[in-house]
Structure 1
Amino acid sequence: MGENSIIVPAGRAPNLVGVIVTWRAITHQGLTRSQNEDAHWVTHVVEGKTDTESASRYIFAVADGLGGHRGGAIASRMAIKAVKEEFHAWHGGAADSIISRAMQKANQKIFCVAQTDPELFEKMQTTLTIAILENDSLVIGHVGDCRLYRMRDGQLDVLTRDHTMASDMLQLHMISAKQAAGHPGRHQLTRSVGGDPFMKSDSTRQQVRPGDTYLLCSDGLWSELTDEEIRSALQEDNISSGCEKLVRFALGRGAPDNITGIMFHIDIVGKQAGIPFTWRTLLGKG
């Protein structure tokens, strides 16, 4: 759980190329599960490109181990570990490639572990959604039914597609959006990390704008909320308050699943002149 922004020593800093973001992450076991099978990770680095210029990069990731399976918690943590390993080894290059390698590494490792003890790790799988924010682009890799929402100029959009039976049927125009919302296959995954030796993931790139607010969350959170509740929380001035509000809504409805949500707001995009940095300026209060 945490809220963060860039931390740079006071003094004159090099020109920053990229973004300044405020974020908050919350995870909760829920009210009926015996353990938390969700895992998440947020990190931020500022890399020096030249003596006078630096680049800012963020990564947000959420994995949701399949509920009811003994290996779900292990699978989600293995997936996040794979993301960390690829990110820490990243020394330049396309974010799309990093996400693809992290996804495939997670799938291979989880699948191989599941084969070592089928009785213990039967159907050991996880969902995984990764978002890398670099310069003015948000690159998204996605498998499963975690969701990435975006609030922009009062408009709420879902930037990922659920890999579920209901969602697939909706894509094929076999059912309506209203039917999909209450369909028994709403949470029946058709794609996951670790379920098969070969995995297909979705990848997309979005341009970010100052003022955008995003929510990356597991289905334990979004399935308990209405679009209006999500829209209202993403329009909060304070990221922490908005994120906490969503978790309170889910807990108030019994929270039958694990809950994980990461909310982040785009404060600044583009080159910023080298100015004295303080906590107030970094948090947009200077």
Structure 2
Amino acid sequence: MGAEVDEDTTPTEEDGVLAQMRLDGSLGPFRVVDWAGDSDIGSVRAANEDDWAAVDDRLFVVADGIGGNAGGALAASTAVAHVAATVRDVTEGSAHDVLAAANAEVVVAGRAAGTPRLGTTFVMVSAHRSHVVVVSVGDSRVYRSRDGALELLTRDHTIRNELLASGVPLEAVARRRVRLDALTSFLGRSSGVGAFDALSFSIAAGDRLVICTDGVHGQLTDARMIEAMSAPTCREVVDDLLRAARGEGGRDNATAIVVEFDRLAEHTERLEVR
């Protein structure tokens, strides 16, 4: 049976808004329809200090241990394990408490292992019905792939970005041999959680998110990542990203999760008969 038709067919402002939302795919609700994740040690490092997890197809977490030793692996695995065991979704308002608890766990684990100076980057995506919440500390990243374009949703917490934000020319510090890629924020600080970002982003049908460590985004150009995103499945995208990162030298551990969204089937049916 078809939908009832209102005799008054004069377009309204609401009709225009709904039509535009259908065109750009922003009329929810949405769900995760495919995802995949994996990690590769690379060609140089003796151990993999990255870690990742997916919880109930709605929370996705990636961490990259700092330090080039066992402390980095411990920090990453501790943060990921804690969040995977205790958190099911995150909002902008709850992000600080989630990070504070994970930070405390990393500090305790480091002291217990006799490696008090350890840390990890941390990034997570919490999928909601109409949007995603992206939380990040350090330089692991989240990208959104939409209509053949790649958009960076996070910012690196590095000396480079701190200097740029404060208006200091990078040339002014170049002679001091400052490591511009050094992190200014991470989990594992005994003083508590430092700078972090927690932001909400819209979802459109067909969107894919890439959550990755610098072993991926530091090795590959945006163009190469876009090429990988054209694969039919998230598993194929992840495999291609990690294979490409190793092909560029594999100088670091590489970890990626790819998540794809689509509109709920029952909601799509309602739209078609409206």
- When normalised by structure 2's length, the TM-score is 0.78
Change in CA separation of 1:199 and 1:30 when aligned onto 2, cut-off 3 Å: same
Corresponding residue for residue 121 of structure 1: 115
The SS at the match of 1:246 is: helix
The answer to whether 1:145 aligns with 2:139 is yes
Q: Which among 226, 230, 243 is matched to residue 248 of structure 1? A: 243
Could you tell me whether the CA contact under 8 Å between 1:209 and 1:269 is conserved in 2?
no
- The AA in structure 1 aligned to 2:151 is D
Q: CA offsets per residue over residues 123-169 of structure 1, 9 Å max, x none?
A: 21111101100101100111010000111223211100001111222
Corresponding residue for residue 10 of structure 1: none
Alignment of 1:123-272 (within 5 A): 123-175=117-169, 185-200=179-194, 201-269=196-264, 272=267
For structure 2, the 5+ residue unaligned runs are 1-27, 270-274
Higher helix share: 2
Could you tell me whether the CA contact under 8 Å between 1:82 and 1:102 is conserved in 2?
no
Alpha-carbon separation, structure 1, partners of 2:191 and 2:108: 8
Change in CA separation of 1:254 and 1:173 when aligned onto 2, cut-off 3 Å: same
Corresponding residue for residue 82 of structure 2: 82
Could you tell me whether the CA contact under 8 Å between 1:215 and 1:262 is conserved in 2?
yes
- The AA in structure 1 aligned to 2:226 is R
Corresponding residue for residue 13 of structure 1: none
What's the RMSD between the two structures over aligned residues? 2.6
- Sequence identity (%): 28
The SS at the match of 2:51 is: strand
For structure 1, the 5+ residue unaligned runs are 1-15, 46-57, 275-286
**Higher-Rg member (1/2):** 2
Higher strand share: 1
- The AA in structure 2 aligned to 1:26 is D
Alpha-carbon separation, structure 2, partners of 1:79 and 1:214: 21
- The AA in structure 2 aligned to 1:30 is G
Could you tell me whether the CA contact under 8 Å between 1:21 and 1:265 is conserved in 2?
yes
The number of residue pairs the alignment matches comes to 237
